Amino acid sequence: MAEQLVGQHPDPVTYVATMVLGDDPDLAARVARHRRRRPASWATVEAGPQLADSLRALAGTALVDSLGPWLSTQPAMVVDSGALCSALVERRGDSVVVSDEVGMGVHPSTPLGRQFRDALGSLNQAVASVADRTYLVVAGRVLPLTAVSEL
């Protein structure tokens, strides 16, 4: 869905990768397949911990994939959501941000799992609050989301 949305926006398109691959061969193969299916004209930037700064430096359309892996690499899973939201609002060009949904599945059984769920839920809420549109994609279906304040 994110790639389809980005395809509706003007070039240049930059895929902003947030995942750290490490030594996982299965994950590396998945990332390689993902890269091959993207249009050759798309640039790729590996954002690392400085996602907000990476976004500010880009012109054109950005596809950020994904907030969950980015959050998980931050010390104590603490990020400056205000800086990220400011970068998204102030940057030159459109942004499509992908994130995982948390809290609808099994209750995490560990304190670290609960910390991740809570931190990503808060980050998702912050990013959604500055978004023009927000969608939830479930089972290949797209559900537009409306803020409670808009009801």
Task: Cis check for the bond before 12: say yes or no (omega within 30 of 0).
Answer: yes
48 pLDDT band, cuts 50/70/90, is: confident
Active-site residue list: 34
Burial of 59 (C-beta count, 10 Å sphere; 0-12/13-18/19+): exposed
Q: What is the pLDDT of residues 5-46, one digit of tens each?
A: 999 998 999 999 998 888 999 999 999 998 999 999 999 999
Which CATH number is 2-150's, of 3.40.50.300, 3.30.1310.10, 3.30.420.40, 3.90.1150.10?
3.40.50.300
**Claim: this prediction has a pTM higher than 0.85:** yes
What integer pLDDT is reported at residue 149 of this predicted model?
80
Q: Are 34 and 27 in contact (CB under 8 A)?
A: no
Which pLDDT value is given to residue 141?
A: 95
| pLDDT, mean of residues 122-129 | 97
Each residue's pLDDT tens digit, 56-108? 999 999 999 999 999 999 999 999 999 999 999 999 999 999 999 988 888 99
Q: What is the pLDDT of residue 78?
A: 96
